[in-house]
Amino acid sequence: MSQFNPLTKLIAGCLIAIGVLVALLPSNGPNRSGESLMVYCAASLRRPLEEVAARFEGEEGVSVQLQFGGSNTLLSQIEASRQGDLFLSADRRYLDVGRERGLIGEIISVAQMRPVVVVRRGRGDSVRTLDDLLELRLASGSPDQAAIGRVTRDLLRAAGRWDAFDQRVRTAGVYKPTVNDVAADVVLGSVDAGIVWDALAAQMPELEAISLPELAEGRSEIGIGVLTSSKAPAAALRFARNLIADDGGAEVFRSYGYQAVATAEGRGTTESGAPP
């Protein structure tokens, strides 16, 4: 004699049928397309990129993995591994170097940042000049690892003050691998001041930003490049173009304090082609 009556069998059959139908339905998850992207991203751009990536996953069904670090450090990783799909750099010059080395194809300009001095909020009166800054414990991005470090070095060399700044950091401060590490040291009180990007300072209410004449001409152009190693170049290009869409990444970057590159200066301009 069967253990199941006809009603039980009917219910069981219906449940099995429902399960099969659910399995056949298209997924609404982040990887419903089956594609995935690996994006190397400058540490200073973490917050806006995480938001843009989450939106892209939801809209496109493409899984996006993010790897953060100093721009120069990331470029070295890309060259060593020859893997990944995109490189979002805090300084356009690293993208140009990557193209020269055959690592990057298309490049798109995204936004701009400028360097500023930061101190703990309420301590802005402690720094009015560069000489004041050189009396404090300092954190600076490493010129060999982070875009902010290279830009700082170039500006202070032009002003004839790099040697004094470098000596002060080495004797009464610290070089850090990313600009986020510089900001964190100032927030924690490990140092008195540091030089970071203005957009990053705007995201941290604990910090107060100070402009100095020696840094005033500094600008860094944020750009994204599609890697020649990409296994999903079409999806990578869609992600890159989404970063400059007014209803996409551009809106997000503006909300975090980044300055859009003016159209006349190349915002949204794409450059493609093999390296010379």
Q: Is 71 annotated as a binding residue?
A: yes
Which residue in 227, 229, 239 sits closest to 63, CA to CA?
239
Lowest mean pLDDT among 6-10, 70-74, 226-230, 244-248: 6-10
CA atoms within 13 A on the CB side of 228: 15
Q: Is 179 annotated as a binding residue?
A: yes
Residues 6 or more apart whose CB falls under 8 angstroms from that of 113 comprise: 44, 90, 197, 198, 199, 200, 219, 220, 222, 258, 259
pLDDT in tens, 81-108: 999 999 999 999 999 999 999 999 999 9
pTM of the full structure? 0.79
Domains of the chain in start order, with CATH, are 36-112+221-271 (3.40.190.10), 115-215 (3.40.190.10)
Q: Positive or negative CA dihedral for 134, 144, 160, 125?
A: negative
C-alpha distance from residue 266 to each of 94, 221, 271 (Å): 17, 10, 10
Question: What whole-number distance in Å separates Cα of residue 276 and Cα of residue 259?
Answer: 31
pLDDT in tens, 48-65: 999 999 999 999 999 999
Q: Positive or negative CA dihedral for 230, 235, 237, 239?
A: negative
Which residue in 117, 112, 99 sits closest to 191, CA to CA?
117
Confidence of residue 20 (pLDDT cuts 50, 70, 90): very low
